[in-house]
């Protein structure tokens, strides 16, 4: 089809519908800053809509004036009126509008970056190429380690303590709030407060290498009771494999040296280089937001890791017989 034909008749309306759908898709869904589900995100969305409407009004006013001056009143104004127009429209108006916006956005910043209130949940998140280490700090008991998924209780402030040992990443859950960089050698902070239960998606928002676009995670915001139960479950050691295939998978996990990089608490696997896997079967995704957690996807992940996530540090285990890969996948899926 010739390019010009794209906008003809039925095709044209289809393209317009597609563009409309794309634009609207940006305003909803699990990864949208314009569908806020957190206190900071609501303020950011309000600022966005305020600026969008304000900018549209100013654009129409300026364009209207330009059209008026071009077509309807071609006579030059007197020097006094011209001077007033330039000083009023070119100096006073932008200073007032931009000054107001700056003051408002700076006031938001102090609110968003305020120290964590008493009783805030504290979670350390460390960004790696290309996954997330997550550690829940608890008032009582040992910290709880996991990876690539975060659960939060609705209505409770949470302080994220952000770090990176390799390159700069940026921690961003658009539906809950703004983004903050994870900078090697420093600890940065982000205060969020989810206001709506649901499943949201977070991303790395700073280019960090080949698989930057494949560095995501899911955030599950739930009622406090469910959250407490979830955290208590995550603190437990891994369940014993159920069934012959899963048991064989567990043995293969040890025999193939997976435990050198991954930890599965309650087993001989104590690795700290890669993501913690104790309850990985309970997580929504494999490979940091890349694939859904089910044994077929796990099989592909184990056998074709580098195809799915280019330059990933995990070696590809495609040399294993398919039945071994299947057993490993069944074992991992069973780690609920
Ligand atoms: Cu990490 Cu981009």
Q: How much distance in Å is there from the Cα of 292 to the middle of ligand 1? A: 20
Phi and psi based region of residue 93 (left: phi greater than 0; alpha: psi -120 to 50; beta: remaining): alpha
- The confidence score (pLDDT) of residue 14 equals 60
- The confidence score (pLDDT) of residue 114 equals 76
Q: How much distance in Å is there from the Cα of 200 to the middle of ligand 1? A: 18
Q: Is the CB of 211 under 6 A from ligand 1?
A: no
Q: Is the CB of 206 under 6 A from ligand 1?
A: yes
Peptide bond into 177 cis (omega under 30): no
Three-state DSSP at 286 gives strand
- Name the one residue in this structure whose structure tokens are 């690539």: 148
pLDDT (tens digit per residue) in 106-131: 888 776 677 888 889 999 999 999 99
DSSP 143-186: -EEEESEEEEETT--EEEEEE-SSS-EEEE-TTT---EEE-TT-
Beta-carbon neighbour count of residue 220 at 10 Å? 18
Q: What CA–CA distance (Å, rounded) separates 13 from 244?
A: 57
Tokens of 276: 């913690």
Q: Is the CB of 127 under 6 A from ligand 1?
A: yes
pTM: 0.85
Q: What CA–CA distance (Å, rounded) separates 172 from 202?
A: 5
- Name the one residue in this structure whose structure tokens are 């600022």: 47
Atom of ligand 1 nearest to the CA of 169: 1
Beta-carbon neighbour count of residue 91 at 10 Å? 10
Interior angle at CA 165, CA 162 and CA 168, nearest 5: 70
Atom of ligand 1 nearest to the CA of 130: 1
- The confidence score (pLDDT) of residue 27 equals 59
Query: Which residues in the chain land under pLDDT 70?
Result: 1-28, 111-112
Output the CA–CA distances (angstroms, integers) from residue 277 to 148, 247, 285, 290, in the order listed: 10, 16, 12, 16
Beta-carbon neighbour count of residue 106 at 10 Å? 10
Atom of ligand 1 nearest to the CA of 168: 1
- The confidence score (pLDDT) of residue 213 equals 95
Q: How much distance in Å is there from the Cα of 165 to the middle of ligand 1? A: 12
Q: Is the CB of 60 under 6 A from ligand 1?
A: no
Interior angle at CA 287, CA 285 and CA 290, nearest 5: 65
pLDDT (tens digit per residue) in 72-112: 877 777 778 888 888 988 899 999 999 998 998 888 877 66
- Sign of CA pseudo-dihedral 292, 296, 301, 304: negative
Q: Do 227 and 273 contact (CB within 8 A), yes or no? A: no
- The confidence score (pLDDT) of residue 118 equals 85
- The confidence score (pLDDT) of residue 224 equals 96
Nearest-CA residue for atom 1 of ligand 1: 169
Q: Is the CB of 288 under 6 A from ligand 1?
A: no
- The confidence score (pLDDT) of residue 109 equals 78
Q: What CA–CA distance (Å, rounded) separates 164 from 168?
A: 7
Q: Is the CB of 207 under 6 A from ligand 1?
A: yes
Q: What CA–CA distance (Å, rounded) separates 214 from 234?
A: 25
- The confidence score (pLDDT) of residue 320 equals 95
Q: What CA–CA distance (Å, rounded) separates 84 from 78?
A: 10
Q: What CA–CA distance (Å, rounded) separates 165 from 183?
A: 8
Q: Is the CB of 214 under 6 A from ligand 1?
A: no
Q: Is the CB of 169 under 6 A from ligand 1?
A: yes
Q: How much distance in Å is there from the Cα of 67 to the middle of ligand 1? A: 46
Q: How much distance in Å is there from the Cα of 186 to the middle of ligand 1? A: 16
Q: How much distance in Å is there from the Cα of 50 to the middle of ligand 1? A: 30
Q: How much distance in Å is there from the Cα of 23 to the middle of ligand 1? A: 25
Q: Is the CB of 215 under 6 A from ligand 1?
A: yes
Q: Do 127 and 204 contact (CB within 8 A), yes or no? A: yes
Give burial (CB, 10 Å; 0-12/13-18/19+) of 29: middle
Q: How much distance in Å is there from the Cα of 214 to the middle of ligand 1? A: 8
- The confidence score (pLDDT) of residue 13 equals 58
Q: How much distance in Å is there from the Cα of 85 to the middle of ligand 1? A: 48
Q: How many residues does the chain have?
A: 336
Beta-carbon neighbour count of residue 262 at 10 Å? 23
Q: Phi, psi at residue 279, to the nearest 5°?
A: -125, 40
């Amino acid at each position: 089809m010739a390019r010009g034909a794209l906008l003809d008749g039925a095709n044209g309306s289809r393209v317009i519908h597609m563009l409309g759908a794309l634009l609207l898709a940006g305003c909803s869904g699990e990864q949208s800053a314009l569908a806020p589900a957190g206190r900071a995100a609501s303020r950011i969305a309000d600022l966005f809509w305020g600026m969008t409407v304000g900018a549209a009004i100013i654009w129409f006013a300026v364009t209207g004036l330009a059209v008026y001056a071009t077509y309807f009143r071609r006579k030059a104004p007197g020097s006094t009126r011209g001077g007033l127009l330039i000083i009023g429209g070119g100096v006073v108006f932008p200073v007032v509008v931009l000054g107001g916006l700056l003051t408002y956005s700076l006031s938001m910043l102090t609110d968003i970056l305020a120290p964590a209130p008493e009783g805030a949940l504290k979670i350390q998140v460390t960004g790696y190429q290309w996954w997330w280490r997550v550690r829940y700090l608890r008032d009582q008991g040992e910290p709880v380690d996991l990876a690539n998924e975060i659960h939060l209780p609705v209505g409770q402030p949470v302080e994220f303590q952000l770090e990176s040992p390799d390159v700069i990443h940026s921690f961003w859950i658009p539906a809950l709030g703004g983004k903050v960089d994870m900078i090697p050698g420093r600890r940065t902070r982000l205060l969020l407060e989810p206001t709506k239960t649901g499943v949201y998606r977070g991303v790395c928002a700073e280019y960090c290498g080949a698989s930057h676009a494949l560095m995501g995670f899911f955030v599950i915001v739930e009622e406090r009771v469910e959250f407490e139960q979830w955290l208590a479950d995550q603190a437990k050691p891994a369940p014993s494999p159920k069934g012959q295939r899963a048991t064989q998978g567990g043995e293969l996990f040890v025999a193939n040296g997976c435990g050198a990089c991954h930890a599965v608490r309650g087993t001989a696997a104590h690795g700290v280089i890669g993501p913690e896997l104790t309850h990985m079967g309970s997580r929504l995704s494999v490979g940091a937001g890349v694939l859904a957690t089910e044994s077929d996807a796990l099989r592909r992940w184990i056998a074709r890791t580098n195809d799915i996530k280019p330059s990933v540090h995990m070696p590809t285990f495609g040399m294993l017989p398919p039945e071994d890969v299947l057993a490993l996948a069944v074992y991992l899926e069973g780690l609920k």
